[in-house]
Amino acid sequence: MNSSPWWKEATIYQIYPRSFFDSDGDGEGDLPGVTSKLDYVKSLGVDALWLSPFYTSPNRDGGYDVANPRDVDPRFGNLEDAKELIVQAHKRDLRVIADIVPNHFSDQHEWFQAALKSNPGSKERDRFHFYDANEDGTPPNNWISIFGGPSWTQVEDGQFYLHLFDSSQPDLNWENPEVNADFEKTLRFWIDLGVDGFRVDVAHGLIKEDVLTNHFDPQGLSNALRLDVAMDSQKRNALLLTVPYFDRQGVHEIYRKWRKLFDSYGDREIMAVAEAWVHPPVNATRYIRTDELHQVFNFDLLTAEFNSDVLFDLVERSISLNATVNALPTWALSNHDSTRVASRIGDEQARALALFVFGLPGSAYVFAGQELGLPDGQLQDSDRQDPTFFRTNGAIKGRDGARVPLPWSGDTTPFGFSTGKPWLPISQSWEDLTVENELADPKSSLHLYRNALELRKEFLVGSGGITWLESSQHGHKNDSLLSYLRGSVTVVMNLSDSAKECDATGKLIIVSGGIVDARDGKKVIPARSSAWFLA
């Protein structure tokens, strides 16, 4: 472990267990599959892995619909497998982050089943948000679920329950002490089993206010809240300022209690990272005040254009906002909810951006497959499983493309992922993108990631802030150069489609693509490429 606390500038590898490696031939990845690939994970040079949910679940939303948060779903293995994964990760000096889902349960959770059997006003219903219908029989308000369709579903006796996501994901009522106590039990359960931290799903959603009021543009708001729906950023930001069910003050009370719980484990340095997509961005820093959580995801890079003005502003803002609470930013180019970065901005651009970001202060998150340069998988509608696709009648395709399983080896799909039929098809066109192939090719994206993460650890982690050398403020507008100095490393990114000269000095230690030339004493950075120079 390289710095203290361990998470501060860690590189964290996100594994979507269903898509990582299938150990038993049923076509779905599982926990023993992850354990069997820990040497690969370690070889990337990351410090920790974050596992998307593997709990008991009917899997209507990729496991983010939890029916028992303190057990493992048979599709992924069992509790012994989870324990073994953690033990083996720790043996390799890798920390493990579990994904906790406090905003909602699955409708298959015993609490919700009990609520369905109980009367309006009962203590069983009070754990969720049950309300009577309006006088005309319509739902209590006009909110649209983030997955499309109404946010309310009616039960037999006429009451409606709130679900910000799928109808199979009833929102929990965090004003109810039983909900609080149950989650603290879950946190302790996993910490006692050995996990080192948590990713907190929908961390900004737990407390609801104004549940009975309508929104002026519920459909626009629902789209604005999706990372996979393109929208003009001004329009998106304006809508995000009006979300009635996110980022209420009461959520912070919950995290203050959790922080005490985490701190009670002393030098285990248990951490939590909040998935809190809030607006304005300054609000995100409230989640990481010194008595709350440890990190908050910065989602900006998941939607930002490959443009030097945009990226300069975004990096500046993230560093300076975090500094107000004495924290460092987090950086993520892809995750299981967004279009993969290589598909979104292009393959070379994605490599350049990764190298640019790995130099920055803070923690870097890498979504499994990103290191291979995977694009989104091309799927037929008949393959799709994301509830969004169904709830919008196919108008929004959903997130399955980013979740296609990893290609490991061989020259025929499913490339060693499974001996069975993978749950989502892996295109034969990924033949060159297997781990095996990329390991054999020193110019591959995999080698770039491994080399960059090694150099990051050696020269950049813990070396303080950045000084901009080239940016829009230096006259480099739009598609040109961005460059900063951090410690003894100068990082330069050329965003344009032609080679560009820069003033960087020092020895070239890594380049994301192409060849760095020298001309008249200046370094020439290839098009759509980044490079690091060591003083």
* Least CB distance to ligand NOJ at residue 226 (A): 10
Which residues ranging from 141 to 180 are in contact with ligand NOJ (CB under 6 A)?
165
Q: Which of 22, 73, 201, 376 is catalytic?
A: 201
Q: Name which of 174 and 532 has its Cβ closer to ligand NOJ.
A: 174
Q: How far apart are CA 445 and CA 372, in angstroms?
A: 5
Q: Give me the DSSP letters along 118-158.
A: SPTT-TTGGGB-EEPPPTTS--SS--B-TTSSBSEEE-TTS
**Minimum distance, C-beta of residue 338 to ligand NOJ, in the bound complex (Å):** 9
Residues in 307-336 that interact with ligand NOJ by CB under 6 A: 336
Given candidates 300, 337, 348, 470, which one binds ligand NOJ under the rule CB under 6 A? Answer: 337
* Of the residues 22, 30, 47, 61, which one makes contact with ligand NOJ according to CB under 6 A: 61
Find all residues with CB under 8 Å of 314, minimum gap 6, and list them: 300, 301, 304
Give the contact letters, 340-369, x = binds to ligand NOJ (CB under 6 A), - = no: ------------------------------
Q: How far is the CB of 23 from ligand NOJ (least distance, A)?
A: 23
Which region among 29-37, 59-67, 310-318, 465-473 touches ligand NOJ (by CB under 6 A)? 59-67
Nearest distance from C-beta of residue 275 to ligand NOJ, angstroms = 6
Least gap, CB of 164 to ligand NOJ (angstroms): 8
Task: Evaluate the omega torsion of the peptide bond into residue 375 and state whether it is cis, within 30 degrees of 0.
Answer: no
**Whether the bond into 280 is cis, omega within 30 of 0:** yes
Cα–Cα distance between 66 and 102 in angstroms, integer?
9
* Residue 53 DSSP one-character state: P
Measured from the CB of residue 124, what is the shortest distance to ligand NOJ in angstroms?
A: 22
Count of positions on this chain that bind ligand NOJ (CB under 6 A): 10
Closer Cβ to ligand NOJ, 336 or 500, answer by number: 336
Classify the phi-psi angles of 124: left when phi > 0, otherwise alpha if psi is within -120 to 50, otherwise beta: alpha
Question: Is residue 20 close enough to count as binding ligand NOJ by CB under 6 A?
Answer: no
Pick the binder of ligand NOJ from 28, 107, 201, 300 (CB under 6 A): 201
Q: Which residue, 191 or 225, has its beta carbon nearer to ligand NOJ?
A: 225
Q: Is 201 a catalytic residue?
A: yes
Selected binder of ligand NOJ within 13, 50, 55, 64 (CB under 6 A): 64
Cα(398)–Cα(401) distance, integer angstroms? 8
Residue 90-129 contact track with ligand NOJ, rule CB under 6 A, x = bound: -----------x----------------------------
Asked if 313 is an active-site residue, the reply is no
Least distance between ligand NOJ and beta carbon 507 (Å): 41
202 binds ligand NOJ (CB under 6 A): yes
What end-to-end distance do the CA atoms of the chain give, in Å? 26
H runs (alpha helix) in 226-346: 233-240, 250-263, 300-303, 308-323, 341-345
- Span from 61-69, 110-118, 150-158, 496-504 in contact with ligand NOJ (CB under 6 A): 61-69
Restricted to residues 275-294, the positions that interact with ligand NOJ (CB under 6 A) are 275
Q: Please give the DSSP secondary-structure letter assigned to residue 261.
A: H
Smallest separation (angstroms) from ligand NOJ to the CB of 107: 13
Widest Cα–Cα separation across the chain: 81
Catalytic residue among 22, 107, 275, 300: 275
Closest chain position to ligand NOJ (CB): 64
- Of the ranges 58-66, 260-268, 313-321, 506-514, which one interacts with ligand NOJ (CB under 6 A)? 58-66
Nearest to 85 by CA among 52, 36, 42, 20: 36
CA-based nearest residue to 1, from 46, 50, 55: 46
* CA distance readout (Å), 490 to 178, 310, 484: 53, 20, 6
Count of CB atoms situated within 10 Å of the CB of 473: 11
CA 200 to CA 97: how far, in whole Å? 10
| φ/ψ of residue 492, rounded to 5 | -125, 135
Q: Which residues are catalytic?
A: 201, 275
Which residues contact ligand NOJ (rule: CB under 6 A)? 61-62, 64, 101, 165, 201-202, 275, 336-337
